[in-house]
Amino acid sequence: MGCSSRDEAYMQRALDLAANGIGRVEPNPVVGAVVVQGECAVGEGYYARFGGPHAEVVALAQAGQKARGGELFVTLEPCCHHGKTPPCTDAVLAAGIRRVVVAVADPFPEVAGRGLAILEEGGVQVEVGALAGKARRLNAAYFKRQKTGLPLVIAKWAMTLDGRLAAGSGESRWISSEASRRRVHEVRRISDAVLVGSGTAIADEPSLTVRHVEPFPERGQPTRVILDSHLALDPTCEPARTAGEAPVTVYTSAAALVERGGRAEALRQTGCEIVTVPPADAGLLLTAVLQDLGKREMSRVLIEGGSRVFGSFFAEGLVDRVMVFVSPRILGSTDALGAVAGPDGRGLLEAFEVADLAFETVGPDLMIQGRVSEF
C-alpha cells in the first residue's frame, strides 16, 4: 500500500530531525520521531548522543498525555531489547499510541522485525515504508556495517575544471576555496577516520584534523589512517609528529615491519599505532584495512588521497560515495595528476557509475556528491 502525502510530510520532518544526530550517535543509527494528534505535531525528538534517550522516548515525553490515541512517525523500527536504554516498544505501548508509521525496519539482529511484531501484538496499527529510500540513505553507514561489517567509504577530492589535482609542488591542498575546505572539515567532523596513502602523507605532510569547525566533544578528532606498505612515513613530520594529540593508525605489511623495525618503533614512540595487513599487488589488501576499521566500530571513512589510493579503492569496488569539489580554474598542465589513477585499458562500459547526483555551489567552487555502491 502506498504512503499518503500526509504520512510522507510527517516522515520528512522525522528525517530532518534525525539528521541532527549525525556524527554524535555512531556506531548506532540516527533516528527521528514525530508524535501527531489529529493534524497537529504534539511531540518531536531525535537520538542526540550515543547512550542517550532514543528519539521515540523524547518525542513521547514532549507529547505527554496528548500522545494517547495519536500516531508516531519514526525513521527506524523502534527497538525492543534492553541496551543502554529500555525498549522503545514499551514506551510506545505505554503511551497509548494507536498507529505507528516506520520508514524502514532495523537490520540489527536483536530487533529485525521483532519491534514491529511487538507493537502489532499490542494492538497498534503498524505501517512500514514511508520515504524508505531516504531513510536508508540517511543511515547508509549503519546499514552497511550491519550487512557487511565495513564502514561507509567516502572518496573526497578537489580538482580544477580540467580535472587536475596538483601541479607537483604541493599546491593540491589549495585548489579548493576556503568555503570548500570548511565543508570538508564538516565531513571530517562526522567521520571516524581520514585516510591517505603514504605518498600523500610524505609529500604534503597533512594534519588531517578537524580545524575550520569545532570537533564534536563526544567524538573528538578522527583517527588519521595512513596506508604505508613500506613504512616510509617520517616520525618527525605530520601527521606522525602529532600522534599524541590526535590518533594515527599506520597500516603496513608484516614484511615491512620486519625490514624496518627501527622505523616502526620510532613511529610508535610518537604515539602511532602500527597494524599489519596482508599485502596486495598495489600495496596492501584494502578489504583487510576496512575490516579492521569495521571491527573498531568505525562508521565512516573519508579518503583524501592520493590518486593511486583512490584508484585502488575504486578498482576493488570499495568506494560508496564521492564528494568532489571543482574549482573554476584550468591548470592546463600535462604534469598535473588526475583525480583517480587506475589500470589503463578500461573502457566506458567498465566505468564506475555515480547515482543520486547532487550539485551545490560552495564559495566559487562546485561541489558534486553521489553514490557509487548500493549504500
Q: How far apart are CA 246 and CA 238, in angstroms?
A: 11
Buried b / exposed e along 244-261 (16+ C-beta atoms within 10 A):
eebbbbbbbbeebeeebe
Cell (9 digits) for 141: 553507514
- Among 8, 44, 56, 71, which one carries the catalytic annotation? 56
56 is catalytic: yes
Looking at the DSSP bridge assignments, the partners of residue 362 are 365
Q: How far apart are CA 121 and CA 67, in angstroms?
A: 19
Q: CB-hemisphere CA count at 13 Å for 277?
A: 20
Q: What residues are labeled active site?
A: 56
